Each structure stands twice: as structure tokens, then as C-alpha cells.
Amino acid sequence: MLFKRKKENEDEFIEVKVVKDVNIVDDKSTNVEAELIVAEAYYRDVGRGIARIDPEVMKRMGLKSGDIIEIIGKDSVPAIAWQGRPEDKDKGLIRIDGSLRDNAGVSIGDKVKVKKVKAEPANKVVIAPTEKIRIMGGETYLSKLLEGRAIKKGQKLRVESFGYVVTFIIVSTVPDGIVIVSKDTVIDLKEEPFKPIEEEIRENPRALLKEWIDKKVIVFTKGPTIVGVLKGYDNEFNLILEEVSFLENTELSHQFRDMLVNGTNVISISLFREYSV
């Protein structure tokens, strides 16, 4: 089913694609998708992982405040859906803060796709800073900051303290996929800075990966987390691995003799012992 509503005094249409009749949408449904326009978050929502959605769109998608959604732009990021204010009705807006926009790879005024997703409780989350920094009680602080939020591997977290902003990366989660952090979630904060593979290779391309040839590495990708022996690489960050396994919930599975990992899908690479869950 396809709904269209013309915006007042404009020629543009708001389009909400509903794959499943809204009258039979249930709490577990993930078949509903909408295209919305990105707007600035309200001040009180900043840093909370909240997405305020046009109330009319919420109704048509069968969404309730507190549902977990995925916002898809150039990249994607999970968020908690909350109903927008009455003045946003029929405007086709989704209000998200700078952190969510950055993770989704979008700016204010861009269009994004939004869909409801399933999220599992997080048993463990491994986090690393992007710069050398030591935070006393960091794990406790991040646990309180993230409690109740939806996150996924590869997501960036911006934390501001006394006017200083520190960026962290979600290195991995148990289980994989989109998870919800609770007070029972174990937060493992690494001290060593986490750098995307592009930065590592540009800083010292040969010294970094050449040292890891014939060593077991862990490759964090936009899909599965891959463990294998590094046998080669090129300037496009394509990796040749042997004795390959996927890391799923701390267990290695799906073994392959060898694999070529496309560099465009690589988030980061480390020696296996460093960021194993």
C-alpha cells in the first residue's frame, strides 16, 4: 500500500511506503518503511539516541514511542522512535541530533529511509576511544550514558565533558546486530585508540599491514566480524585472508579456507588478541 500526502503550499509529496496493511501491524512487524526529511533535533533530545517522527507517519507505520528504528542514509544507525510534536504533523520530518546524522551519513534537509527493526538485549559492548585518553570510571559513565539506547557495531559516540568532546567507537557487541544497552550490559572500554583502517594505512601503510602478514587478525566490517590469517592486501584496502571464520557471540563459526574481503566494507582491522570479545 502506498500513501501520499501533498505538503501545504509545496509541490513535494511525502511518501510512506507501507508493505503491510497498518491495521494488522503488530509489535514485531519490521515490514513498514518510510522516506522522511531530516530536521534538527529538539535540544532536550540531543545525545539521547532519539528520533522524533511526524505523528501521522508514526500512525501509518504502526510505530509507538519507544520502538527501535533504523535510519538509512549513506550509512545507517539505530535510534529510538518518539512521536513528533503536533506542529510537525504532515511535514514528513524526522528530527535527529548531530551524532545520529553523522552516523547515518546525512545532513539537515536530506532524505532518509526509516524502518522498524528488532533489537536484542546487549550482553556485552566493547568500546574504544578515537584518541589517546584515560577516563576515570569510564566504563561506569558510558554504561549510564548508553542505558536504554539502541546501538550497533561501528557506531560513533560523541561524549562532551566540560566543553571537551571525545569520540568513541562501538567496536563490537554481543550479540551481533542492533542491541539495547541495559544496566546488566557489560561495558569493556579499551585504552588504545581505535582508528578506521583508512587512517591507519594512510599514516603508515606498509609498516602496519606488513607486520601482520601471516598473523591472525580480526576484521570489523559493515557485515560480519571476520577472523583469519592475513596473507595480502592492496591500496584499496582489499584483504586476502586464509583460515577464515566468522565471530558470532564470542564463538568462531562458518570456517572457510580463504576469502577476499572487499575494502569498502572494512571498518577496521586489528590483531586478533586486541579486540576479541
DSSP string, 149-212: -EE-TT-EEEEEETTEEEEEEEEEEESSSSEE--TTPEEEE-SSPP--HHHHHHHSHHHHHHHH
Give the DSSP letter of residue 251.
Answer: E
Last residue of a domain, one of 189, 209, 238: 189
| Of residues 13 and 96, more confidently modeled | 96
Per residue in 105-157, pLDDT tens? 999 999 999 999 999 999 999 999 988 887 788 899 999 999 999 999 999 99
Res 177 pLDDT > 90: yes
Last residue of a domain, one of 155, 189, 223: 189
The whole-chain average pLDDT of the chain stands at 82
Res 7 pLDDT > 60: no
CATH number, domain with residue 64: 2.40.40.20
User: What per-residue confidence (pLDDT) applies to 247?
Assistant: 78
Asked if 100 and 124 sit in the same domain, the reply is: no
Asked if 111 and 126 sit in the same domain, the reply is: no
Q: How many CA atoms within 13 Å lie on the side-chain side of 42?
A: 13
Asked if 21 and 107 sit in the same domain, the reply is: yes
Last residue of a domain, one of 133, 157, 189: 189
| Of residues 267 and 100, more confidently modeled | 100
Asked if 70 and 137 sit in the same domain, the reply is: no
Res 196 pLDDT > 90: no
Among 49, 51, 17, smallest CA distance to 34 is for 17
**Cα 271 from Cα 55, distance rounded (Å):** 47
Phi-psi map region of 274: left, alpha, beta (phi>0 left; psi -120 to 50 alpha): alpha
Q: What is the extent of the structural domain holding 211?
A: 197-275
Res 203 pLDDT > 70: no
Asked if 35 and 58 sit in the same domain, the reply is: yes
Asked if 128 and 104 sit in the same domain, the reply is: no
Asked if 112 and 174 sit in the same domain, the reply is: no
Res 225 pLDDT > 60: yes
Per residue in 68-83, pLDDT tens? 999 999 999 999 999 9
Among 33, 41, 39, smallest CA distance to 15 is for 33
Asked if 124 and 109 sit in the same domain, the reply is: no
CATH number, domain with residue 205: 2.30.30.100
Mean pLDDT of 222-233: 87
The cell for 61 is: 507505520
Asked if 173 and 211 sit in the same domain, the reply is: no
Choose the most confident range, by mean pLDDT, from 5-9, 116-120, 192-196. 116-120
Mean pLDDT of 89-112: 96
User: What per-residue confidence (pLDDT) applies to 222?
Assistant: 83
Asked if 90 and 105 sit in the same domain, the reply is: yes
Q: Supply the pTM of this predicted model.
A: 0.67
- Domain tally for the chain? 3
Res 21 pLDDT > 50: no
User: What per-residue confidence (pLDDT) applies to 201?
Assistant: 55
Asked if 11 and 111 sit in the same domain, the reply is: yes
Res 2 pLDDT > 60: no
Among 236, 241, 185, 186, smallest CA distance to 213 is for 241
Asked if 100 and 65 sit in the same domain, the reply is: yes
pLDDT band at residue 42 under the 50/70/90 scheme: very high
